[in-house]
Structure formats: C-alpha cells, structure tokens
Chains A and B, each alone.
Chain A
Amino acid sequence: MKTIHSDSAAGAAPDVITLERVSFGYDPEHPILHNLSLSIPRGQWVSIVGPNGCGKSTLVKLLNALLPKSDGEITVYGHRLEEETIQDIRRCIGMVFQNPDNQFIGATVEEDIVFGLEGLCLPYAEMEERLQAISAKLGIGHLLEKHPGELSGGQKQRVAIASILAMKPGIVIFDEASSMLDEGSRNELMEILQGMRAEGNYTILMITHDADEILASDRVLALHGGGLAADVTPAELFLDEELLRKCHLREPYPWRLARELQKQGIPAEVPASEKELIDRLWPSNFSK
C-alpha cells in the first residue's frame, strides 16, 4: 500500500479520528469494510475516493454511528465510540449530503438553521449570534425568510452547509455534496471549502469523484475491496495511472491532456490554463 509522505500531513496536529481494525457488513460473508485502520489529524482536508460500492459512505457513517460497526475501535476527539459516547461524538461531526432536500426541516431557511442550534440547547442570544454570523459568512442573509423550496440547487447546498457549520462541529463530512450541483454552484462550494480550510477550525472529510475537488485537498484515502488501497497526495494519485484505474477515477482535463501529449512524444507539463499550453507549445515568435 502506498502511504502519504509525513511532511504533507498537517504538522504535528493531534489525531481527531482514529480507526483500528474496523469492519462492517450486512452479511458477515461479504464485509463492506474489513479490518480498516487509519488516523486523521486535526485540520486536514481529506478526500475519500474509490469505485461505487467500495464503502466510502459506509466509512463516514460508522464514525458517528449512523451505522453500527461490526468490529474494531473508533475514536473521535478522544471519545471511544460506545453507546454512551454516541451523543458526544455526534456533536463533533456535521454531515452534508448529496441531496440537500433530504436535510431540510424548517419552513424557512432561518428556522432550518435554528433547528440544529435548539438541539444544542443554546441560550437565545447565542443562537441569534451564530445565525447572524454564519449567514453573513456564507452570504445567505437575504435568503433567511425564504422557504427551502424557493432556492436553487446551489443555494440549498449553501444553506445546508450553513445549518451544519452553525453548530460548530470540528469535523465536517461532505458525502458527494457537489454531485447534483451545476458547475457554477460547484465552484461556490469549493470557495466555501477553501474558506473553511483557511480558518483552520475544521477537519474536512470529503467523499468525491470530482478531480478538481480531490486536487484541492491535502490527502487522498482510496478505498478498494473493503480496505485502504492507497493513502497519498492528490498529485501522486493523478500521476499513477494504475491507481486511477483501480479507484475508477480520472485526472483533471489538463493533466490528461499533458499525459496524452507525452504519449505523442511532446514533452508537456500540466498546463494551468489553455493559454499557458499554447504559449509553451508554440513560444510566440509569431502572433496574430
């Protein structure tokens, strides 16, 4: 198995998630995850990748006991996952799903955000403060009075993220959160994620097939056949054709183009833009 270089891990930050020999399956004969061990330090942005059915969603659902592990030890923020600690652990983890419609509860955006805060039994003033702060940060202040049904796909996902972040979880899990979004909304989501990383308060776990999202993250955990197939940096993943094939992934278009050019015998680095490609291939001793 490939492992990530230690210098690319987030310094000496303590681990917030540890799995030791964790297994899960509906049927003991066909375990979905088998004997999985890994740890994730605080503040890291981790992509979880792999083919459909390899257990990505299962893995993140085990962390907060949405699914019961069959075997092994899970530790989140120092709490060993047990019947008594489930509530403490769930407070540390926020989840954003594929389809934001599945997580709307309130009749307005404001109610939806406040619903989660009420669950934390916060004083009224604190709820109000968090509501204002998060809606300013995510630019949804003008949507607070709206019904979730009136929002576009991208706005819905933004609201879903706001209602999760308002609860101040240390760990935020995105389960293919961009897969239903159009490209504009996907770019908005990336900006939110980059803002979250810059803030440094969040450990981000992102289940994704999207090459650009993977590229933006710090570390890639590739699941395959119920286990960990690789633990690498995004660049290492995209340069490894065999691993890409195994994980059912494709590299970003400019990376693929660079590889295809190399196959044609044209030395090419990954271009940052189409202009850069042209300028490199044909240094302009002539121009239109």
Chain B
Amino acid sequence: MAIQLQQVSYTYADRSLWRQTALHDMNLDLPQGSMVGIAGATGSGKSTLLQLFNGILKPTQGTVSVLDVTIRAGEKPPKLLPLRRRVGLVFQFPEQQMFEETVEKDLIFGPLNFGMSPEQAKEAARKAMTAMGLDHGLLQRNPFHLSGGQMRKAAIASVLAMEPEILVLDEPTATLDPVSRAELIGLLERLCREEGRTIIIVTHRMDELLPYADRWVLLQEGRLAFQGSGAELAADPAVLERCGLTVPQSLRYWRAVAERFGLTGEKPRLTAESLAERIAALREPGGSAAEMRDRYE
C-alpha cells in the first residue's frame, strides 16, 4: 500500500472555525501505482485528509502509513523531510505558492532544497516543463506575468520537478481550460501507468476523472462514505447523492443504457465515444436490443 489509514481521526483545536472538517475513524487503503479520485461536498474533510498524506497534519487518533513511514497518534513522528520529497502535494491555487523572479528559479527551489545539484535540478525543471506541456522559453519569464492557467501548470511542474513517488493534487484542473484539463489528466495517467507513481486527485469534476480512476474515495462530513473501484461506484451512484454530490452526466447516461439492457455487470462506458460505440453494438441486428425485444415479445 502506498497509503494506509487505520482508525484515523483528526480534530482541529476545538475553538477553530473549521472544526467541522475533522475526520472520524477513517480506514483507507490506497495501493501503490493506482490512480485515486477523492470526492465529497465542501467541508467533508478532503483537504484535511490530504494533509495527513505527508505529515503536515498528524493524526489525533489511529495510524497513518505512507510508503515505509508510519505516523502514530500520540507518538513522536519519525523524520518527515525525506517523506516530503517522496510525496508531492499540489494545493488549490498552487500558483499562490510561486515566489521567485523566474519560472526556472521557482522550479529548482524544491529540488535544490532536497539535495539535487544545480545541474540535476535544472534538468528536472526542464523535464517537468515538458511533462506539463509548457514551452521551455517560459523558464526565464517572470511567473507573475504568465496567465492564470500557465501559472497553474508551472506550479504543478515545480512539484513534479521533485520527482515524487506519490503525487497528491487538490482540484488541479479548476481554472484550466477543458483541453488543458484533459491533457493534465492524461499526463497524470501516464505518470501512473508508465512510471508506477501513485496519483491521488481531489476533484469536484468527477466526469473528467471517471474514465481513468482505479479507485474512488467519497467523504461525507468527515467520514468515509465509499471506497472502491469506478465500476462499483457506477453500480451504486446513489451514494454520490447521499454525499451531497451530483451524479455526473456520463454516469447518468451510462446507467440509463445499462439499466435498459441489463448491462450492469459490464465495464461502465463513461466517455461519449465508448458509450456511442456500445449503443451502436446494441442496435445491430442480433445485438442486445434485438435480443431484448425477442425476450419480451
């Protein structure tokens, strides 16, 4: 397991305004090399959960295991610096954490701090820029003169430059245009499938992640409401509504077709392309639609 939570609770100081986002008794297993989507309404504890993943927050109760590091409630934690290089966190509005005069200086800041040589760091920066689809010409530009979307990509690149084994992103695609969003999800999927990195994405746009995620975690008021595969989620979308989320359109259309033809056992078709192909197959002579008609006549 890349990340395991056993009976974890987290309580902020009682007088805090944010106490409602505390986590209650969470058990969670996120396998290494998987692509995980986390969803939940505002205030369900998503951001708190993410901060447990690299030791920014320590559990009030229970045990958090990340890679080979174990953090137990009430015990002095082990050294967390190496863990923080191996678990890259990209927060909401990552562009707000940029501060250097040039994009390159911003990108090499982390790698240098974690002990890379300047040459290695610059190489990692260039690699990360390519991965994010950013022109290397931007490296010498002032990050504050980039557009919002470019800044967001550069900020994600600055975390990628540290080459983390686990990459945790909080709403990474908000504010990106739809093509850049699809590209970013595609890039993250490649990092996951080809390089075996564990990718964890908090999203309120489930539509765009549904076709790719291996696993979904749904939170409701600080409790785990669901954990399982995309297919399991597709089989029981009502859990989304219980969590205060809307059922994504791609899932609604798939369910309508699946229910009509009793396809509930098969792999959900969650893109327009794959659903259209399935519908075409259903309509062919001898397809399920014809079979179905025979059965009912």
Contact = CB atoms under 8 A, between A and B. Distances in A.
Interface of A: 26, 50-54, 57, 98-99, 147, 149-150, 152-154, 176, 179-185, 187, 209, 211, 245, 247-250, 252-254, 256-257, 259-261, 263-266, 274-275, 277-278, 281-282, 285-288
B276 A52 contact: no
A27 to B, nearest CB: 8
A188 to B, nearest CB: 12
Interface of B: 17-18, 41-43, 92-93, 145-150, 152-153, 171, 174-180, 182, 204, 207, 244-246, 249-250, 252-253, 255-257, 260, 272-273, 275-277, 279-280, 283, 289, 292-293, 296-297
Given A274-B256, A285-B293, 20 more contacts: A52-B150, A98-B148, A98-B175, A149-B17, A153-B42, A179-B175, A180-B175, A181-B204, A183-B246, A245-B179, A253-B253, A257-B272, A260-B272, A265-B280, A274-B255, A277-B253, A278-B257, A281-B279, A282-B260, A286-B296
Given A249-B177, A254-B249, A260-B272, A278 B93 contact: no
A50 B93 CA distance: 20
B147 A52 contact: yes
A54 B276 CA distance: 33
Contacts of A275: 256
Contacts of A147: 17
A250 B181 CA distance: 11
Nearest to B173: A179
Contacts of B207: 253
Contact of B245 (A53, A149, A182): A182
A183 B42 contact: no
A99 B177 contact: no
Contacts of A50: 177
Given A53-B147, A260-B276, A253 B250 contact: yes
Contact of A57 (B42, B148, B296): B148
B148 A286 contact: no
A281 B283 CA distance: 9
B296 A51 contact: no
